[in-house]
């Protein structure tokens, strides 16, 4: 069994990728639920990866050209539903600790640890509130902070990246925190995320692709020793 730790898009993408390759996978988080609270990006570029859900309505999403703007919380939740429908298992309010060559789970959730082979910590986009032991799925080499908000009107503001969602709200992101000062009192939601600084706009599809690439590298190289 492989346990993937995380509540966001990177974690569910990694877990489903492993499941697609025929592995026994359990997705866990120390949060109370998957997808929320979630500060990840809800802007998706279909030039990077196709939209992963059957409809846009599942994630309160709308598309303009190649840019999809969605509620990232609902995107993650729907992907978790698909993961469990395909045979994956989940557990919340748990964290894993390794001591004296054995694993134990802490918290109020339940988690079976029989036949545990690997623990992959995939919280690179949404940090866990309490850390679990395990191997990081990947490392962000050149981290950069992105600051986001969900607003009603962004016409007078200068943002690096923005998209209008199906409910009419606007998700905006900038690497400059001060750009959001004028909307702090009236924003519907504030967001924050650390991601790789590669001169590309923050993008949920690229987060999923990074998770896929990391899983593929793990499976090909078998760089993690069996527990």
| pLDDT tens sequence across 172-224 | 998 988 888 877 777 888 889 999 988 888 999 999 999 999 999 999 886 54
Residue 227 has a pLDDT of 33
Could you tell me how far CA 3 lies from the centroid of its own chain?
A: 16
**Model confidence over 152-179: pLDDT tens digits?**
876 656 676 889 999 989 999 989 888 8
| Mean predicted confidence (pLDDT) in 128-147 | 93
Q: How far apart are CA 224 and CA 169, in angstroms?
A: 43
Domain ranges of the chain: 2-39+72-139+203-221
* pTM for this prediction: 0.92
Confidence of residue 122 (pLDDT cuts 50, 70, 90): very high
Q: What is the rounded average pLDDT for all residues in the chain?
A: 89
pLDDT at residue 38 tops 80: no
Residue 136 has a pLDDT of 94
In which residue are the tokens 């690229």 written? 206
- Burial letters 166-177, b for 16+ CB under 10 A, else e: beebbbbbbeee
Residue 134 has a pLDDT of 93
| Mean predicted confidence (pLDDT) in 68-79 | 95
Residue 94 has a pLDDT of 94
**Total Cβ atoms within 10 A of residue 188:** 13
Closest CA to 17 of 217, 211, 223, 181: 211
| Mean predicted confidence (pLDDT) in 116-126 | 92
**Model confidence over 74-98: pLDDT tens digits?**
999 999 999 999 999 999 999 999 9
The H-assigned helical ranges of the chain are 9-20, 72-85, 204-221
Asked if the 2-39+72-139+203-221 domain carries CATH number 3.40.50.1100, the reply is no
Residue 157 has a pLDDT of 61
Residue 154 has a pLDDT of 61
- Judged by average pLDDT, the poorest of 27-31, 41-45, 105-109 is 105-109
Confidence of residue 135 (pLDDT cuts 50, 70, 90): very high
pLDDT at residue 22 tops 80: yes
């Amino acid at each position: 069994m492989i346990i993937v730790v995380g509540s966001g898009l990177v974690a569910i993408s990694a877990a489903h990728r492993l499941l697609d390759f025929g592995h026994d996978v359990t997705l866990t988080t120390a949060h109370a639920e998957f997808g929320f609270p979630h500060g990840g990006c809800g802007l998706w570029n279909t030039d990077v990866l196709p939209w992963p859900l059957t409809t846009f309505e599942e994630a309160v999403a709308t598309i303009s050209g190649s840019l999809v703007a969605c509620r990232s919380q609902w995107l993650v939740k729907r992907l978790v539903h698909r993961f469990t429908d395909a045979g994956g298992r989940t557990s919340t309010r748990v964290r894993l600790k390794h001591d004296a060559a054995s694993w134990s789970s802490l918290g109020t959730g339940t988690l079976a640890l029989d036949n545990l082979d690997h623990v992959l910590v995939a919280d690179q986009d949404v940090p866990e509130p309490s850390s679990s032991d395990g191997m990081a799925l990947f490392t962000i080499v050149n981290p950069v902070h992105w600051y986001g908000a969900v607003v009603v009107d962004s016409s007078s503001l200068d943002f690096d990246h923005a998209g209008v969602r199906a409910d009419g709200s606007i998700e905006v992101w900038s690497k400059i925190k001060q750009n959001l000062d004028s909307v702090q009192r009236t924003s519907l939601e504030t967001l924050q995320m650390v991601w790789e600084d590669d001169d590309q706009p923050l993008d949920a599809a690229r987060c999923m692709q990074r998770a896929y690439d990391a899983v593929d590298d793990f499976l090909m190289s078998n760089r993690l020793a069996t527990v």
